[in-house]
Amino acid sequence: MGTSATMRLPEWARTERRGKPRETKRVLRSVGLATVCEEARCPNIGLCFSKPSAAFIIMGPNCTRNCRFCAVTHALPEPLKNDEPQRVGLAASALGLRYVVITSVTRDDLPDGGAEHFARTVRAARRRVPAAKVEVLTPDFRGSPESVAVVVGARPDVFNHNVETVPRLYPAVRPQADYRRSLSVLHRAASLDPSLRIKSGLMLGLGERIEEVLQVMMDLREAGCEFLTLGQYLRPSRAHAPVERYIDPAEFDDLRHRGLAMGFRQVLSGPLVRSSKDAEEMYNRGHPET
């Protein structure tokens, strides 16, 4: 099995990098915000920025953790900006968003992990774009049930927390995280509000085995997870964990079918699937009553 240093990037990873970020970037700069799409150097940025949805990254740009697959900067974090929630609301309104994703770096330096700041941002988005759906993509808050409850209390529509990979690979690629703790965060959110949609995702190609992926999918169902994203890991730079394998699109398709058979409402599974890509479509398809 080769690594990304020696493997050619498959055709799908090059052809879909088209598309131009338009108005979105201008509005984000004008209110001093960043999207996770830019911070994580996502290959879908052009396509996503042409839709009425955006994934804001708050409490950044520096993360207190250092996951080996992630392009976000690992450095001492800055103090929280009190007006950031309002600026997210303003940007959501200026962009006419129908779907707002709010995510963050991990802030292990804050007593509540930033839960209250998250909740304030959800409420600010609700005030400015009341018709929009709001999805939070949270860190694990070091497993704090109180912090999860604070975020759930702000009434987002979707609570997303990515397990990212299989437990065996955590020490190598996600050393400051804990698989069981991530599951407990999802389970806690699910048990607090039955109307809340629970979502998670994995990147494939880091060296996981298929039976390990299937076990994680079953664990996620047990934790109350209904929406699942599975995408190909792409190495942000040579300093990051190598790609161990490019997964065939047919294998992604097979995993989607298996996920639906396990009871997930929606499974997005494909090479360029990312946690926040097509989030609005996923929500609407998995939630036809709204």
| Angle between helix 210-222 and helix 179-192 axes, rounded to 10 deg | 30
Q: Residue 85 or residue 114: which is nearer to ligand SF4 going by CB?
A: 114
Q: Which of 45, 55, 63, 230 binds ligand SF4 (CB under 6 A)?
A: 63
Using CB under 6 A, which of the segments 58-66, 80-88, 189-197, 262-270 binds ligand SF4?
58-66
Tokens in use for 151?
Answer: 């975020």
Closest to ligand SF4 by CB, 128 vs 242, is: 242
The stretch among 66-74, 79-87, 218-226, 263-271 that binds ligand SF4 (CB under 6 A) is: 66-74
Selected from 17, 25, 51, 65, the binder of ligand SF4 by CB under 6 A is 65
Q: What is the DSSP string of 196-252?
A: SEEEEEEEE-SS--HHHHHHHHHHHHHTT--EEEEEE---SSTTSPPP--PPPHHHH
**DSSP bridge pairs for 285:** none
Window 135-154: residues binding ligand SF4 (CB under 6 A): 139
Q: Which amino acid is at 236?
A: P
Q: DSSP state, 63? A: B
Site for ligand SF4, residues 70 to 129, rule: CB under 6 A: 70, 72, 105-106
Q: Which of 287, 243, 248, 285 is nearest to 269 (CA)?
A: 248
Distance CA 21, CA 200 (A): 26
Q: Please, which residue, 132 or 208, has the CB nearer to ligand SF4?
A: 208
Among all chains, which residue has been given the structure tokens 């942000």? 236
Smaller CB distance to ligand SF4: residue 69 or 126?
69
Pair type for strands 34-35 and 53-58:
antiparallel
Residue 200 forms beta bridges with which residues?
228
Distance CA 4, CA 11 (A): 14
Binding-site member from 67, 183, 190, 196 for ligand SF4 (CB under 6 A) = 67
Q: Nearest distance from residue 135's CB to ligand SF4, in Å?
A: 16
Over the window 170 to 189, marking each residue x when it contacts ligand SF4 by CB under 6 A and - when it does not, the resulting string is --------------------
Judged by CB under 6 A, the stretch of 10-18, 59-67, 223-231, 265-273 that binds ligand SF4 is 59-67
Residue closer to ligand SF4 (CB basis): 36 or 129:
36
Q: Which residues are at the interface with ligand SF4 (CB under 6 A)? A: 63, 65-67, 70, 72, 105-106, 139
